[in-house]
A and B are shown apart, each in its own frame.
Chain A
Amino acid sequence: MKKLYRFIIIFVLLGLCIQPRLHAEDGKDLFVTKCGKCHTRGDAPDVAPVKYASSQWKRFFSRDKHKRKKDISGEISPEEITTIEKYLTNHAADSDLPIAAGLR
């Protein structure tokens, strides 16, 4: 058992001490913080990446469909919108979604 505990400690230290970002954010944070402001508080319908297929998300952004309901250009920068679009298309209903118990 000693060997196991030693190994677990090494794993935990490895896991918790590696702090630098190994690569860029995938946009989920932006989506949650920026879009979630309205879309999870009942101000607007709930939205999730799986709501549409990737082609539908692309069309949504290329035609700036959000503007019909609300102009968000003052709240989200074009760069942020690009990141959010990438996240939504990468996690769209027809994308290769991860599967595990309790994952939406």
Chain B
Amino acid sequence: MTKKTVFRLFLMSVMFFWVYPVMAGSILVDKDLFEKIYRRQMILEKKLEKLENADPGKKTSTDLTQEEFDEIADRLDMVETKSILDKVRVSGSLRTRYDNFNFEKIARLDAFGVPNLKDQYDGESTETWSNRLRLDLRSDVTTNIIFHGRLSYFKLWGDHNYDTDAEFDGDVHSASTSVSGDLHVERAYIDYFVPNTPISFTFGRLPGTGGPPTEYKDNTTRKSTWPMLMTSTEADGIIFNLDLDQLFHLKKGMFRITYNKNLQDYLKTMSEKEDRSDDTRSVTAAFEMMVPGVNNSLFWLSYVKVYDLRTVPEKLLPENLKILDKPRNSGDFDVSTAHLQFDNIFNTGIDWFGAYVHNEIVPNKEGTLIGMDFTGDRQTFTPVIELGLFSDSIKGNLGEFREGDAFYTGLRYTIPIQAINYPKIGVEFNRGSKYFMGGILISEGGEITNKLGIYGDAYEAYYIQPINQKHMYLRLGAIYIEHNYYNPNLFFGTQPKSDMTELNIYTLVDVRF
């Protein structure tokens, strides 16, 4: 038998055993199956009929040729490649600001740089314009590694910057502004989330400027870690984050421990010079959570200990003064902070915040020895005063323990008028005591004085008019400051009394992109 014959016999036997029962009216025919097949056949026939009656000129997706499919696939490949390579997302904001400053009872400085309350004058700075640019970067390197960056620029029109002591404490003091008006790195940090744990680490140049409640005035969401009254500085360090929401289901709960190096003299142990400085270090423990049952609320407690704060910077001294001798540091201080804020209370459109800071200062008993040039030759300097933290040798209070505190509160109300994009009005008040020493607060650009760093009272009222709900707004505001003591944010020497007042009326336009 040939193979063909064998195959035929096999086929016939299969047919016989399969067809015979059917032919014989077998009970093996399943009625449901039959109906299912019948229904399927009807559907297919209808589809066939539809296709036959279809307009031959009309092109459907099934008419795409293989070539066209390939072309689309190629295009998608290009888009996919581009999206994979687009690692960094860029957003940002540009602010143009107009300021008008009026100062009353400014005391002239005597030869030692001490204000003379008997010799006062008024001053003003009208029509001051400035620009501020922020470029925010984000790259989701992996799902667990996220890079954040911010490049900033602040500049007065036709000038560089305000002549503030922005470089007073190294780069810690230059919050959000560069002294030269150049673009600089305000933030550059990595968030690393340890997989399958509530732990993450943040390291680099940390997000420490413009924290809560700045977002109220800036018509945005929270943009920094620390509350504003605690600190608003650019600082490098490492943060250990423990996500309490993940661990204990404590809503938006987070515990952080931070280590910062605020001043680093890398040559201190390599140089033979004896006048090197100790490094300034700070350690922070911070706890935050959402108030139970209250969405968009923030409850914050923290404690910062700063070790070995630097001594008086020579650049702050007038030309006729010179540092003759100095200790390696000026002492330690700590900052305890409590902050609470609620958004949209009882759906009334009212937002409220309150913050309190208390600090204790333990100054070095040895101060920086300042010499004065009495001859005018800039060669011979006679020792005249020793300056320490809030103390000096003339008053005989060097090394005295100090306590200071500050309070900051405010309200914002969203006016429920949709036609004009829900404008907002807000008021704020803050008070700083004589020895208040927050986490170093200096102007972020715009204001000459950071109102939160003062020893006195500050009032602010503002109106926000969104021009575009999401991207553009206008703010009009006024800040009035009553100084009780001079030298806000300058912690060296005895604080001289002051009755200076300051009025800053401003307008700004912010565009976010």
Contacts and interface: CB of A to CB of B under 8 A. Distances in A.
A15 B354 CA distance: 12
Interface in B127-156: 140, 143, 146, 148
A13 to B, nearest CB: 11
Interface stretch (A61-69, A76-84, A91-99): A91-99
A98 B222 contact: yes
B294 A22 contact: yes
Interface residues of B, number: 48
Q: Considering residues A3, A4, A15, A102, which has the most beta carbons from chain B within 10 angstroms of its beta carbon? A: A102
B206 interface: yes
Interface in A9-34: 11-12, 14-16, 18-26
6 contacts: A7-B358, A23-B344, A97-B221, A99-B207, A102-B191, A102-B239
B396 interface: no
B75 interface: no
B69 interface: no
Interface of B: 89, 140, 143, 146, 148, 189, 191, 193, 200, 202, 206-207, 211, 220-225, 239, 241, 243, 254, 256, 289, 291-297, 299, 301, 336, 338, 340, 342, 344-347, 356, 358, 360, 405, 470, 512
A40 to B, nearest CB: 11
A71 interface: no
B220 A19 contact: no
A41 interface: no
Given A19-B292, A104-B146, A3 B405 contact: yes
B189 to A, nearest CB: 7
A25 B290 CA distance: 13
A4 B358 contact: yes
Given A8-B301, A12-B301, A93-B89, 17 more contacts: A3-B405, A4-B356, A7-B358, A11-B338, A15-B340, A18-B292, A19-B292, A23-B344, A23-B346, A23-B347, A24-B295, A97-B221, A99-B148, A99-B221, A101-B202, A101-B239, A102-B202
Interface SS majority for chain A = loop
Nearest to B295: A26
A9 B237 CA distance: 30
Contact of B223 (A18, A23, A98): A98
A17 B490 CA distance: 39
A46 B196 CA distance: 13
B223 A99 contact: yes
Contacts of A46: 143
Given A96-B220, A99-B222, A19 B293 contact: yes
Contacts of A11: 299, 301, 338, 340, 356
Contact of A102 (B254, B338, B356, B405): B254
- What 5 A-B pairs have minimum CB-CB distances, sorted nearest first? A102-B241, A101-B202, A15-B299, A4-B358, A98-B222
